[in-house]
Amino acid sequence: MARTPRTPDPVDPDQACPIAPVVDIVFSRWTTPTLWALNEYGRLRFVELQRRIGTISPKVLTQRLRRLERDGLVRRTYHAEVPPRVEYEITDLGRSLAPLFASLSHWGADHLPEVERARREYDGDGAALPRP
């Protein structure tokens, strides 16, 4: 009697790649620039933070700040004044990511020219050769 091959059990993505949960938390589209700005400039009001980040919409910044607050990376402080004032600052937990960001910054300075060159070569060859 022939044996049928056994289908492997599905692998938990967190076990397959232990950094995946960290990447999901830290490297979503607007998380990195938000944390970077708060780490670099300290406590900021919403509008000041938005200016430091650039093209982010108020709605997206609000969503991102709420998620970062939920994850414990950002602290929101509400001041009951007239008019009300809200400030955001990076927490110690968020600040603990600074060495990671510094390493990535150094990697970028050292290797992004290589990446750009590889992209140009690939894109130039991509028109002539079909890719599987």
The domain segmentation of the chain, as residue ranges, is 17-96
CA-nearest of 3, 1, 68 to 29 is 68
> What DSSP string runs through 46-91?
HHHHHHHH-S--HHHHHHHHHHHHHTTSEEEEEE--SS-EEEEEE-
Quote the pTM value: 0.75
- The fold of 17-96 is Arc Repressor Mutant, subunit A (1.10.10)
d(CA 55, CA 32): 14
DSSP assigned state of 92: H
CA 69 to chain centre: 14
Tens of pLDDT along 13-60? 657 888 888 888 888 889 999 999 999 999 999 999 999 998 999 999
Residue-wise pLDDT tens digits, 63-75: 999 999 999 999 9
